[in-house]
Amino acid sequence: MSSTQLKLNFPNVERKSIAPSAAVAIDSFFPEEDANKLAQIESYNKHLFRPNTYLHKWWARRSGVTFRYILKQLSSESDLRNFYTPGGLEGLTILDPMMGGATTLHEAIRLGANVVGYDVDPIPILQARASLTGISVQEKQVAFNTFLEKLDQKLSPYFETSCPDCPEKSDMQFLLYGHRRRIDKDEAIFVDSFTLRAETNGDKKTILDFYPSLEVTRENRTWSLIDKDEARKRGILDKNSELLDIPFVDRYVPLVMMGKCAHHGQFFKAPDVRDIQNINAASQVTNLIISGINGFRVPQGPKSSDLIARGVTNFFELFSHRQLIYLSEAKRCIDEAAPEHRLWLALLVSTSLEFNSMLCGYKGGDQRRPGAIRHVFSHHAYSFPCTALENNPVFKAKTSGTLRNLFEKRILNAGKWAQAPIERRWSGARLDKVIIDGELDMGQECETLNEFTGKTRSFMVMQNDSSVLPLPDQSIDYVVTDPPYFDNVQYSDLSHFFRCWLRWFLPDQANWQYQPLLSAVAESKENEAKFGGILTKVWQECHRVLVRPHGRLIFTYHHWRAAAWSQLAIALASAHFRLMNGYIVHSENPISVHIRSLRALKHDTILVLKPCDDDDTRQWEKPERIKMDDSASFCRGCTQYLGWILDHDFDHEKICLLWKDFIGSD
């Protein structure tokens, strides 16, 4: 792909606002083909296309280009609907009542709109506030340098090691641990693989280079060493072999250390006496840290139950002694930082936990990325590797999961991109980069809608249950959002892993006692109506706050199940919306962990709805049947059927029966 830079000059970016008319372009047109092409490309590396929206881990983000295309069609001037033309939404107010990763807010504020975002979870609110607030990258660099220097002074002694080929002191990059498990009345150490590094030329470094006898001795105790393949063959890799009666961190034994010598470069070695002493020294400190923190208990939940089943009752148990010292020192440094820097520093440390926990694995045998960290949520669930990786967050090089690397990618690159956003253009033979001259992905935070008057690129973000919007009637031009995925419950539950630490870092910046069950999610088949019930209240509030006559509710949606579509239809009908149009765009890449090897949809439906009027006439024909073997055709069929249902006054029971008949029983 070409990295050619095209600079486009568009004068008069800050245009006068033009009042929208009742006719809205997206009612009748959307550039599906162009949007689909770019969305498909972006789906492979969303964080590279939209770096300023990826400050912190969040799940199920939609492609930014899709939402830019949606928002572009809301401009009242036809020449401003071009994807590569800056602005077009000056004077408009856009609401996302279920903002999640804040894609809508970022895309709309770039186009000059004032934006409002709500979410019941504090993490999306904190991330949006930090990423939309304009602080120069130079100021952040100075603050980060001070922050890292303080951390390094405290942490480096614990991660100090020596090169096996010379007496020089070196930095540990990471330490690999094996998992102690029970075999009959004895114990053994399990690893995922013996491979430490496999090169394309056939060279290989393995754990057996350091333990050729397949035995590990630590503190006068010896264990046999077994890889996962052998354990499976012998039928000894099951839950009954786990040592649930000892602390989680004590179930792991240090095996191989990786470091970097100034003279000999990267090295592997077995931990020596000094390395073990460093680990033990850290363990003497952590009892004081743990005794001084509260609010870390693992709650009951569909994903959290996996932790509880393995005897983990507090989130701090998932971290090594050195990692707990890192978190304790990070809190102290955040508290000492200037107020304007505390939020993004706390989010940076929080997101680093995905690479700095004993749930991290190791990609030793991956020739594409040999030696890379397998981060905690690489499979969108809690994984429990046999080979656990302890990372060094203050390692001097910009390697995976270090604070230096994360700062450069999540803060510096994002800040530079926000000052000069870049889009891609497919020329037919290559992908060119296009700087959208005059756009900014940042704004001024306000507390009330009145402060939006006469302004562009202002934002309000608030932790709020959107079934009750704190907004006046007819105060919002357009609602653009991406609602929850019906029965996908992982977002809120998995985010407890981060939320408990953010609560410790930023106790006064959010309502940490919020109720996760307020989310529009069906946790089980028994409460599928919960999704429709909560969504009904949200859509009713959207109906109330939309300006007439141009106000529209626009959102992306897909699901295979009839129950998901029936509950969506019930919510929209109850809130008195009618479907104006629907469009299909690419959503997920084929290797995504969401859909790989699964019967899952690769496309989103963009649904455009308006508040019903008494004189609205029916416009949708009932489709005869639906294609079940093609993702795009399935979404298009569901769109047409939804439109037909909303044109009629069916009761809730009838709507459920109609969808079951159309798609089939779940």
**Domain extents in the chain:** 1-134+415-475, 160-401, 483-487+522-666
What's residue 44's pLDDT? 85
98-124 pLDDT, tens digit each: 999 999 999 999 999 999 999 999 999
What's residue 3's pLDDT? 36
What's residue 12's pLDDT? 34
Residue 215, pLDDT above cutoff 60: yes
What's residue 664's pLDDT? 86
Distance CA 457, CA 501 (A): 31
Distance CA 546, CA 465 (A): 18
Residue 609, pLDDT above cutoff 80: yes
Greater confidence (114 vs 366) lies with 114
Question: Picking from 355-359, 444-448, 483-487, 509-513, which range would have the lowest pLDDT averaged per residue?
Answer: 483-487
What's residue 301's pLDDT? 85
Mean pLDDT of 340-356: 97
Mean pLDDT of 350-356: 97
Residues in the chain: 666
- Measured in degrees and rounded to the nearest 5, phi and psi for residue 33 equal -65, -45
Distance CA 53, CA 64 (A): 9
Burial environment of residue 7 by CB neighbours within 10 A (0 to 12, 13 to 18, 19 or more): exposed
Mean pLDDT of 358-384: 84
What's residue 168's pLDDT? 84
Distance CA 297, CA 279 (A): 25
Q: How far is CA 131 from CA 156, 325, 414, 542, in A?
A: 30, 28, 8, 26
Residue 663, pLDDT above cutoff 70: yes
Mean pLDDT of 320-347: 97
Mean pLDDT (the chain, rounded):
89
Phi/psi-derived region of residue 355, left when phi > 0, alpha when psi is between -120 and 50, beta in every other case:
alpha
34-54 pLDDT, tens digit each: 999 999 999 888 888 999 999
What's residue 492's pLDDT? 81
Residue 320, pLDDT above cutoff 50: yes
For residue 482, give the nearest of 202, 99, 82, 160 by alpha carbon: 99
What's residue 360's pLDDT? 97
Percent of the chain with pLDDT over 70: 91
What's residue 6's pLDDT? 34
The pLDDT-based confidence of 600 (bands split at 50, 70, 90) is: low
Residue 568, pLDDT above cutoff 60: yes
50-101 pLDDT, tens digit each: 999 999 999 878 899 999 999 999 999 999 999 999 999 999 999 999 999 9
Distance CA 609, CA 478 (A): 10
What's residue 11's pLDDT? 34
225-251 pLDDT, tens digit each: 999 999 999 989 888 899 999 999 999
What's residue 13's pLDDT? 37
What's residue 400's pLDDT? 87
Residue 310, pLDDT above cutoff 60: yes
What's residue 597's pLDDT? 38
* Structure tokens given for 646: 């909303």
What's residue 428's pLDDT? 80
Distance CA 601, CA 632 (A): 8
Q: What is the pTM of this model?
A: 0.92
Cβ–Cβ < 8 Å for 66, 46: no
The pLDDT-based confidence of 513 (bands split at 50, 70, 90) is: confident
Q: Which residues in 482-572 belong to E strands, given as ranges?
A: 552-557
Mean pLDDT of 248-276: 94
Mean pLDDT of 8-22: 46
Mean pLDDT of 167-187: 92
Neighbours of 417 (CB within 10 A): 17
Residue 465, pLDDT above cutoff 60: yes
Percent of the chain with pLDDT over 90: 73
The pLDDT-based confidence of 15 (bands split at 50, 70, 90) is: very low
* Structure tokens given for 115: 């934006």
- Measured in degrees and rounded to the nearest 5, phi and psi for residue 174 equal -155, 165
Mean pLDDT of 489-495: 79
Greater confidence (2 vs 582) lies with 582
What's residue 599's pLDDT? 52
The pLDDT-based confidence of 508 (bands split at 50, 70, 90) is: very high
Mean pLDDT of 139-167: 95
Residue 398, C-beta contacts closer than 8 angstroms, at least 6 positions apart: 404, 405, 408
What's residue 133's pLDDT? 97
Distance CA 26, CA 33 (A): 15
In one-letter notation, the amino acid at residue 451 is E
For residue 492, give the nearest of 304, 655, 662, 263 by alpha carbon: 304
